Amino acid sequence: GAVVSQHPSWVICKSGTSVKIECRSLDFQATTMFWYRQFPKQSLMLMATSNEGSKATYEQGVEKDKFLINHASLTLSTLTVTSAHPEDSSFYICSASTGTSDTGELFFGEGSRLTVL
């Protein structure tokens, strides 16, 4: 099946620094990718929809200046957490759809666990 790779898997940073997370579709082109965050024992929360070549669409309550999303190519989307604070510590997951499956199946990256000290 389609493979989505996410990097880094784990990142620890100091408060005030910025962290970039990459999401790559390895064997297919993804015109749309999705970014989620997940707190412990909670479900996925959609943060934004990333569209190749255009601005991301953010969900209500998600600060677009805080969580910068760039979808520079059909196989790469990046999420940058700017001026990270401890409350930004979370599990960040990306997903992508091939757009060709009748099931509309999403393929998820491995996730990136961010810890802000």
Partner 1 sequence: GQNIDQPTEMTATEGAIVQINCTYQTSGFNGLFWYQQHAGEAPTFLSYNVLDGLEEKGRFSSFLSRSKGYSYLLLKELQMKDSASYLCAVMDSNYQLIWGAGTKLIIKP
Chain residues that interact with partner 1, rule: CB under 8 A? 6, 41-46, 91, 93, 95, 103-111, 113
CB of 16 to partner 1, least distance (A): 26
Short-list 11, 23, 21, 36, CA closest to 117 = 11
How far is CA 57 from each of CA 6, 21, 38, 77, 109, rounded to the nearest angstrom? 20, 18, 19, 13, 20
Q: Which two tokens stand for residue 48?
A: 């934004």
CB of 99 to partner 1, least distance (A): 11
* Ranges assigned E (strand) in 1-117: 4-7, 10-13, 19-25, 32-38, 45-51, 57-58, 67-73, 76-81, 90-97, 106-108, 112-116
CB of 92 to partner 1, least distance (A): 10
**Three-state secondary structure call for residue 96:** strand
CB of 52 to partner 1, least distance (A): 17
